[in-house]
């Protein structure tokens, strides 16, 4: 359990860990490269370490180097430092002899991205066999949205609930390609299909119902892989070689989002978040907060590995309620718990619809945030696919739980900054899944700011 005290504001400048989504994808594509892919600022979260562990079991060579320790073989992956940014946490992934059958089950832990991307990777490699499993939370998450399209391409996949739940066995083969219309807007599903198609017998096309994050497409193009994109349709063409490459991964926007909302809702804040990924498919939260009244600017834009990177400057803001529509959800799916927090501090009603995907994340995030924010005094109504939130509400402190979900834990921690008394958060250690240094950064940002005066009842 951790105690978080309310503050008047947060000020300063910070960096955030490398983008989690990009780190996963760089590692997976490195597994298809004999030359290798080297990336700086690799995510320090447990989910990305899990991907590296699975790839090592599949025969990949993985090394890490920085200016302090030189180059090391990542035997246990603990050399990835949670406080490092930039070209510390520089990781190289390559498979000079190709991938091999793992001796043991591949444990994806809590990471849905790891499991789903591995399904796509392994399905398209002839004769490669593996069993993919995960923790109890991941065992309950749907995999049929990935296995269905892969099986239609000719993949041999079987497991619980007719291939819809882990553990799943995969026997790779040369797949058929074809066109696949996605039933849900999911970048993980799209990426799994595109990965499987890289070694296919013809072009492979994924058609999305709505735009999702496009890191895979950007990275494939950056590496010279034949790919075309037109609207919601993305096509990859068979290739016998993934070139090597080297670049720096920008800071994770989903991690930066916690500080964006924290600065917006506290009264005396001005914050610079440097080297953040500002890919338009990821920054939907900024678009929604902008129409709610967020005061911010984007400065020093540049490119790294094909991705847009910039400094985001945020100031205390007077927010107003808004309506978030289903077509907006894919671009801010991971930030919706935070948007719920922001809505409690916005004048009027905020309504989120079309977010039923939140119910099959690490927790049922719709329910978890409704319960957590109600305990703090928020006026929030849970609906089947989102929330109706009435603000502006004075939040109280007290005791609440993370539900084992890293994004819920960090969102509630942000909410506590505007409370009238401290929050006691149970299960805070789950933040290591994506942002191990979150509470250290929180302490850094609040150590020189005035504690909010407690209101006596």
Active site residues: 334
What's the rounded Cα separation, in Å, for the pair 131 and 109?
13
Non-local (6+) Cβ contacts of 383 within 8 A are: 353, 366
- Coil/strand/helix, residue 390: strand
Q: Enter the DSSP assignment of 104.
A: S
Q: Where are the alpha helices (DSSP H) in 16-96?
A: 20-30, 46-57
Picking from 424, 435, 384, the residue whose alpha carbon sits closest to that of residue 402 is 424
Q: Identify any residues that bridge with 273 across adjacent strands, giving them in sequence order.
A: 14, 312
Tally the C-alpha atoms within 13 A of residue 355's C-alpha that lie toward its C-beta: 29
In DSSP terms, which residues pair with 310 in a beta bridge?
276
Closest CA to 208 of 176, 226, 235: 235
Q: CA 363, 367, 369, 371: dihedral to nearest 10 degrees?
A: -120
Start-end of H helices in 301-455 = 336-344, 365-375, 406-416, 438-446
Indicate the burial class of 166 (C-beta count within 10 angstroms; 0-12, 13-18, 19 or more): buried
Strands 37-40 and 245-248, bridge-based pairing: parallel
CA distance 93 to 64: 9
Candidates 385, 382, 395; CA nearest to 421 is 395
């Amino acid at each position: 359990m951790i105690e978080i005290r309310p503050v008047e504001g947060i000020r300063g400048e910070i960096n955030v860990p490398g983008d989690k989504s990009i780190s996963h994808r760089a590692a997976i594509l490195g597994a298809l490269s004999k030359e290798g892919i080297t990336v700086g600022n690799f995510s320090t979260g447990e989910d990305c370490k899990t991907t590296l562990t699975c790839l090592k079991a599949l025969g990949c060579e993985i090394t890490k180097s920085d200016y302090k320790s030189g180059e090391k073989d990542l035997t246990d992956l603990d050399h990835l430092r949670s406080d490092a940014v930039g070209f510390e946490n520089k990781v190289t992934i390559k498979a000079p002899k190709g991938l091999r059958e793992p001796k043991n089950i591949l444990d994806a832990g809590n990471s849905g991205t790891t499991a789903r991307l591995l399904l796509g990777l392994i399905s398209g490699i002839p004769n490669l066999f593996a069993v993919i499993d995960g923790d109890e939370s991941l065992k309950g998450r749907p995999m049929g949205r990935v296995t269905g399209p892969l099986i239609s391409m000719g993949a041999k996949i079987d497991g619980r609930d007719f291939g819809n739940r882990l553990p799943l066995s995969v026997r790779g083969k040369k797949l058929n390609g074809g066109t696949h219309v996605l039933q849900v807007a999911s970048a993980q599903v799209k990426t799994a299909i595109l990965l499987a198609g890289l070694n296919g017998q013809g072009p492979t096309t994924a058609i999305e119902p709505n735009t999702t994050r496009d890191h895979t497409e950007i990275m494939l193009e950056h590496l010279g892989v034949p790919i075309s994109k037109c609207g919601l349709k993305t096509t990859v063409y068979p290739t016998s070689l993934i070139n090597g490459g080297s670049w720096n991964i920008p800071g994770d926007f989903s991690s930066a989002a916690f500080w964006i909302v924290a600065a917006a809702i506290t009264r005396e804040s001005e914050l610079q978040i440097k080297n953040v990924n500002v890919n338009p498919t990821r920054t939907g939260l900024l678009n929604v907060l902008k129409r709610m009244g967020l005061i911010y600017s984007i400065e020093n834009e540049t490119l790294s590995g094909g991705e847009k990177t910039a400094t985001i400057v945020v100031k205390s803001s007077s927010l107003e309620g808004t309506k978030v529509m289903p077509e907006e959800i894919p671009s801010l799916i991971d930030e919706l718990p935070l948007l719920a927090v922001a809505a409690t501090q916005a004048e009027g009603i905020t309504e989120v619809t079309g977010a039923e995907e939140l119910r099959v994340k690490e927790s049922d995030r719709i329910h978890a945030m409704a319960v957590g924010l109600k305990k703090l005094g928020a006026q929030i109504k849970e609906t089947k696919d989102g929330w109706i939130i009435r603000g502006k509400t004075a939040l109280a402190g007290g005791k609440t739980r993370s539900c084992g979900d890293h994004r819920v834990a960090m969102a509630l921690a942000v909410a506590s900054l505007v409370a009238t008394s401290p929050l006691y958060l149970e299960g805070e250690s789950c933040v290591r899944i994506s942002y191990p240094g979150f509470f250290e950064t929180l302490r850094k940002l609040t150590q020189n700011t005035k504690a909010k005066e407690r209101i006596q009842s």
